[in-house]
Structure formats: structure tokens, C-alpha cells
Amino acid sequence: MRLDVITIFPEYLDPLRHALLGKAIEQGRLEVGVHDLRQWATDAHKSVDDSPFGGGPGMVMKPEVWGPALDSVAARESAANLESALPHLNRPRHDELEGVEAQAYAVDATADEDSDLPLLIVPTPTGKPFSQADARAWSNEEHIVFACGRYEGIDQRVVDDAARRYRVREVSIGDYVLIGGEVATLVIAEAVVRLIPGVLGNKRSHEEDSFSDGLLEGPSYTKPREWRGLAVPDVLTSGNHGLVDTWRREQALLRTWQRRPELLEAAELDKDDKAFIAQLEKEANTQGEG
Ligand code: SAM
């Protein structure tokens, strides 16, 4: 996969060279290009913004700068590749498993789209909420470009025009407003790259993550068995894998029911899951009455 990021703060994207992403770069599974938008600015001050038509506060990013930047990056004319920050290649993580096969997720392309076009992700609070399903689908992409807005955002014609050479997604990472698109890009890039087949050595790591089966993951514990008077649940040290699996499933259901009950409506629940939820609801009702 190749990721290109266009930004006025290239140094903000340095985390893309570290840890798992740095390792993916080193393994040749990922290339990352970070491009300073100002190189496409043509005036003496290298300005990238101007006042909004119709008045109002703030500045809007200029189409004459963004248009050529997106043309050039779509055509892969501008390299600017990041080097991995750490030499990881010969140091497998402790949880990596020998012989784990890389397995791709289903591809997300609507029927009328030309999937040969690169994917352009435009982070914006007005976009469609980013989800684990998007991360999974985009982990199959060959070329993803991120356009990082600042100020009041990018002139809308840039997004409309880009649809001629990209598949465009305007995406929000949550119902709050950041200063710029760089942090949103880091969030999305990290969620996508860890799902590229082969990037996580142990495939089970993400198959059991929150949202993969529509539920939140339950709590995790490590050594020591007792810490500050708090003990690890007995079942986890019982050596009985069947009981551990049942306990983990129930903890996932319990946490989802407590924190994100709306997820339960879309999750695939079997007879035992439904009985467990019904029991939780019964107990809650009894406590409410008492
Ligand atoms: N005026 C815009 C609005 O009200 O929708 C907010 C612009 S914000 C100050 C500047 C930039 O930060 C946006 O262009 C976008 O790139 C990024 N940004 C801010 N919040 C975001 C969010 N929740 N998700 C994704 N990107 C966001």
C-alpha cells in the first residue's frame, strides 16, 4: 500500500514512521509520502488560504493550490518518502506466530466506481463517521491520499473536482472539531495499516478486537495474579479454554450492554448471548424496582 499525505505541517506526520507503521515501511508492505502543500503555492508569500466568499470568520484553503497538489500526487509525480524510524525487520514481536497467513478483507467499491483510481480521504467534521468497517475495507487499497485541511477547511470545489481522478471519501473521526486534518489522518492511517495483511504478525490480535464481531472487547489481564489487593478473575487461570471463551464472550456482551447498547442491535447474537443479555436486563429491572 502507498499512503500520501498533503499538509501544511509535514512534521505532524512523523508518527507514521514509528512502531508498527515504521516496521511495515521496512518490510516493504507500506510506502508513505508526506508532501508540503506550500510547494504548490505560487505567490511570493506561499499562501494557501484566503477569506471566505459571503463573509464570516476564518480563512478557506485555496483551490488553485490544492488542485495541482492533488493532480501531482494522483500521478505519483511527487515522491517525498518517509524512512522508517527504527530498525525492526529482524526483531519479531513476542506475539508473532510462525506461519500465520496474510488474509485480505472484503473490498469496498460501489458498482459505479472505477476502483483503479486512488482513494482520496478528506478528513472533516462534516464527513461520514469513520468506522472499523472502513478501516477493514481500505486495508486492501493500493494507494490512499489524505488531504489535510486547516482553518475553516478546503474550498468545496477541490473535493468536487478531485472526484474526476479519485474515489473521494469525506470522513469524520468524531463529533468534535480539531484544529487540522493531520491528527485525523494519523488516526485513520493507523487503523487501516494495522489491518494490511501481514502487518500484525498474530492475525487473532485484530480478529478479536473491539468492533470486529460488532461488540466491545472485554477486560484484559496479565501477571501478576494479584496486584494491590486486586486479583485476576479465577477463570483466566483455570486452564479451561472453554470456560475462558464463555467468560470472554460474556464480558464483551456485558461491556457492550453497559457502554454501547446500540451496538447490540446490529451484532450477531446466538441463543446463549441473547439469554445472557436478557438476564442482565432482568437484574437491572429488579434493582430499579428495589
Ligand atoms: N469549519 C469546519 C466545520 O465547522 O466543519 C471545521 C474546520 S477544522 C477547524 C479544520 C480542519 O480540521 C478540517 O478541515 C479537517 O481537516 C480537520 N478536522 C477537524 N475536526 C475533524 C473531525 N472531527 N474529523 C476529521 N477531521 C477534522
What residue ranges define each of the domains in the chain, with the CATH number in brackets? 2-203 (3.40.1280.10), 226-288 (1.10.1270.20)
- Please list the active-site residues: 125, 152, 194, 209
For atom 22 of ligand 1, which residue has the closest CA? Answer: 125
247 CB-contact burial (10 Å; exposed 0-12 / middle 13-18 / buried 19+) = middle
- Per DSSP, 92 falls in state -
| CA 154 to ligand 1 center in whole angstroms | 10
Indicate the pTM of the whole model.
Answer: 0.91
Phi, psi of 70 (to 5 degrees): -70, -35
The SS3 assignment for 166 reads: coil
Locate 35 and state its grid cell.
508532501
Identify which of 175, 177, 182 to mutate to test ligand 1's pocket (most ligand atoms within 8 A of the CB).
177
| CA 178 to ligand 1 center in whole angstroms | 5
For atom 1 of ligand 1, which residue has the closest CA? Answer: 152
Within 6 A (CB) of ligand 1 lie: 123-126, 148-150, 152-153, 172-174, 176-181, 184
Distance CA 186, CA 15 (A): 8
Asked if residue 216 lies in contact with residue 256, where contact means CB atoms within 8 angstroms, the answer is yes
For atom 6 of ligand 1, which residue has the closest CA? Answer: 152
| CA 191 to ligand 1 center in whole angstroms | 19
Identify which of 6, 61, 124 to mutate to test ligand 1's pocket (most ligand atoms within 8 A of the CB).
124
Quick one: three-class SS letters along 48-117? CEECCCCCCCCCEECHHHHHHHHHHHHCCCCCCECCCCCCCCCCCCCCCCCCCCCCCCCCCCCCCCCCCC
Identify which of 122, 146, 178 to mutate to test ligand 1's pocket (most ligand atoms within 8 A of the CB).
178
Distance CA 5, CA 14 (A): 11
For atom 24 of ligand 1, which residue has the closest CA? Answer: 172
Mean pLDDT in order along the chain per 10 residues (290 residues): 97 94 93 97 97 97 98 90 74 52 56 81 98 96 98 98 98 98 98 92 72 94 98 98 98 98 96 98 91
Q: State the binding site.
A: 149, 173-178
Distance CA 172, CA 150 (A): 14
Q: What angle do CA 113, 107, 126 make, to 5 degrees?
A: 65
| CA 123 to ligand 1 center in whole angstroms | 7
Ligand 1 nearest atom to the CA of residue 126, by list position: 5
Distance CA 173, CA 40 (A): 27
Asked if residue 95 lies in contact with residue 205, where contact means CB atoms within 8 angstroms, the answer is yes
Q: State the binding site for S-adenosyl-L-methionine.
A: 149, 173-178
| CA 119 to ligand 1 center in whole angstroms | 19
Residue 235: the pLDDT is: 98
Distance CA 284, CA 290 (A): 10
